[in-house]
Amino acid sequence: MALGDGIRRNAATVPSSERALLRNAIIELQRRRYPGQCNDAEGPGGVSYWFKQDQIHQATHVHHGPAFLPWHRELTNRFEDLLREVDPRLSLHYWDWTTDPGAWFDPNALLTSEFMGAATGEAGEPLRSAGFYNPTAAPDRSVSPCYPPRDLRRSKGDGRPGSGTGEWPSDESIVEQSDYPRMRLQLEKAHDFAHGYIGGTIQDPHMAFRDPFVYLLHSNVDRLFALWQKAPGKNWRLDPDRVYGTEGGNPAIVADMQPWAGGSRMRPWAPPDNQQLVKTCKDLSVVIPRTYDTDPPVPTTRIGAIDTTNRLDAQHGDLTARWARELDGVQSFALDGNRIGALGLDQRLYVKEGSLDATWVTQNPSAKNFALAGRRIGILDTTNTLRVKEGALNAPWVLQYPAAKGLGLAGRRVAVLDTANTLRVKEGALNAEWVLELAGVRSFALAGTRILALGLDQNLYAAADSLDTASWVLELDGVKSFALAGNRIGALGLDGRLFVKEGDLHATWVLEYGPVKSFALAGNRIGILDAGDNLRVKEGGLDANWEPGRPTVKSFALWPSG
């Protein structure tokens, strides 16, 4: 672990020297003050950066509602930013509430006089002498946020916290919830238990932010929220228009976040200081979490390309990595995670798993088309039969549909385009029933909970969310081909121009390039094969620059796909 790498870690695992830097920075925030004087007519000024935290939380008090997690994320991020004003190397580390922060026998305990103060009774040093509270203060916090409270106490429970026992939800149960409302309720419940376990001042929601340990607790709340968002295959949880699910239109989610927007008349975000910053819970700075040491590993990007001699080459890593020769005689291929699938000119389907130098395994001798998705492989064989296998490469095939002309896999969803041009989709086990249907379909794609279908009329249609309630929406007319990845949709017009939109289905299309032979989307990458058979890739926002091309390319693919 490296000081200054921007990663929030378990505070008990960082070196004691780094904990000391974090402690010193928090103490320094008690010395620094916002503009003004305590008795200003416009409202209390001159409040310390630390006492301001209590003033914010006590006045706004966002609990037991949809905005609980994003509002506290904004509060926690802003506090980390203040710490970095003192020492840019610092990160706001977290307390793992499955562990005892005050065990007397633990040399890395957090509730000690060397770091956060005592676990029971008066918090004591180092907080008392630094002015976080003063038993003889007159006036005190009850008069104005300029002044210290008279007390700061804790009554930590005996032994380890009860996370995962009784009514306290386990971390695993929180991050396994399928949607935001369920996850939020579980996480706030665990948060409430954690406050109660530490006890004392931090147990009172109107006084909790007088105890600096509260930020280690809330860094852990945010860590679990981030872990839920970053779950593999759930990139929609990083989409501002989708992450909050059915609560996305709630007034608390779409309203300006206070007090920072200036509406609560709290200084310095209100007159006369006017340091307002207006944003909602859907702002990307709120939706995209900061980095934790428990974040799922980010998959290394891969690019594959079939050259004009039908040889498959692959690149693993960044755009400057070396290309590796993979397989000759390939007509099409697919990338997904650590798997590569290749359909040979002889109709044999090969799949390899792991590094680029892994061994190819023959999957089927007579395949017309195939798809990869996680641990699933789907094939459409030369008899137009759709089969899917799940698990290891040697798992058995399961019959899905007897008269198919197209297939698609995404997460737990399977889709088939039958020989009558009707699209059918199902979700769950391989023996589940088909649910959603659309007639007159030329081609289709799946990504997360989104489905795109190109009609025989060259119109592009889309559906999203639950299969039971989804309805089809016209997206664009005059479309030759399209792609779907995460919250991006790309469409190649009949005139050769490439359009891409980002966000919800109502977002505006952006012209990206033209003329284009083919294109692909993957995460924040867009790849095109231009009119001169050059492969070009851009990375980042829709306004990013295109990288120099790789010449004489016949077809290509990008991974990850969303």
Residue at 423 is within a domain? yes
Residue at 163 is within a domain? yes
Q: What is the pLDDT of residues 271-295, one digit of tens each?
A: 999 999 899 999 888 998 998 999 8
Q: What is the pLDDT of residues 350-407, one digit of tens each?
A: 998 877 777 899 999 999 999 998 789 999 999 999 999 987 788 889 999 999 999 9
Question: Would strands 488-493 and 349-353 be described as parallel, antiparallel, or unpaired?
Answer: unpaired
Cα 292 from Cα 13, distance rounded (Å)? 13
Residue at 6 is within a domain? no
- Contact at 8 Å (CB) between 542 and 319? no
pLDDT at 299: 54
- Taking Cα atoms as reference points, which of 288, 233, 267, 214 lies closest to residue 38? 267
Residue 476 and residue 393 share a domain: yes
Name which of 144-153, 318-327, 450-459, 471-480 the model is least confident about: 318-327
pLDDT at 247: 96
Residue 308 and residue 236 share a domain: no
Containing structural domain, residue 424: 302-559
Residue at 255 is within a domain? no
Residue at 11 is within a domain? no
pLDDT at 506: 82
Q: What is the pLDDT of residues 198-214, one digit of tens each?
A: 999 999 999 999 999 99
User: Both tokens of residue 378?
Assistant: 């789907």
Q: What is the pLDDT of residues 75-128, one digit of tens each?
A: 999 999 999 999 988 999 999 999 999 987 788 899 999 999 999 999 999 999
**Residue 490, beta-bridge partner list:** 483, 500
Q: What is the CATH number of the domain that holds 337?
A: 2.130.10.30
Q: What is the pLDDT of residues 488-538, one digit of tens each?
A: 899 999 999 999 999 888 889 999 999 999 999 888 899 999 999 999 999
Residue 170 and residue 312 share a domain: no
Residue 309 and residue 245 share a domain: no
Q: Is 506 exposed, middle or buried (0-12, 13-18, 19+ CB in 10 A)?
A: exposed
Overall average pLDDT of the 70-78 stretch: 96
Residue at 268 is within a domain? no
Domain limit, last residue, from 232, 259, 287: 287
Name which of 72-76, 371-375, 437-441 the model is least confident about: 371-375
Q: What is the DSSP string of 33-70?
A: B-SS-TT-TTS--S-BHHHHHHHHHHHH---SSTTHHH
pLDDT at 10: 95
Q: How many domains does the chain have?
A: 2
Residue 402 and residue 516 share a domain: yes
- Taking Cα atoms as reference points, which of 442, 60, 17, 93 lies closest to residue 265? 60
Residue 479 and residue 377 share a domain: yes
Residue 213 and residue 310 share a domain: no
Q: What share of the chain is helix, strand, coil (3-state, %, to 5)?
A: 20, 30, 50
Q: Which residue intervals of 455-504 are DSSP H helices? A: none
Can you state the angle between helices 180-198 and 68-86, rounded to 10 degrees? 60
Residue 176 and residue 316 share a domain: no
For residue 230, how far is the Cα from the chain centroid? 4
Residue 467 and residue 402 share a domain: yes
Residue at 294 is within a domain? no
Q: What is the CATH number of the domain that holds 131?
A: 1.10.1280.10
End-to-end CA, the chain? 29
Residue at 266 is within a domain? no
- Taking Cα atoms as reference points, which of 20, 184, 160, 173 lies closest to residue 89? 20
Q: What is the pLDDT of residues 7-39, one digit of tens each?
A: 999 999 999 999 999 999 999 999 999 999 999
Q: How many CA atoms lie within 13 A of 303 on its CB side?
A: 27
Residue 310 and residue 220 share a domain: no
Overall average pLDDT of the 408-435 stretch: 90
pLDDT at 221: 98
Q: Confidence class of residue 561 from pLDDT cuts 50, 70 and 90?
A: very low
Residue 339 and residue 193 share a domain: no
Q: What is the pLDDT of residues 173-197, one digit of tens each?
A: 999 999 999 999 999 999 999 999 9
Residue 409 and residue 339 share a domain: yes
pLDDT at 562: 42
Domain limit, last residue, from 264, 287, 310: 287
Q: Confidence class of residue 410 from pLDDT cuts 50, 70 and 90?
A: confident
Overall average pLDDT of the 320-344 stretch: 88
Give the H or E element holding residue 18.
helix 16-31
**Residue 381, beta-bridge partner list:** 367
For residue 42, how far is the Cα from the chain centroid? 40
- Contact at 8 Å (CB) between 105 and 113? no
pLDDT at 235: 77
Asked if residue 301 has pLDDT above 50, the reply is yes
Question: Is-above-0.75 flag for pTM?
Answer: no
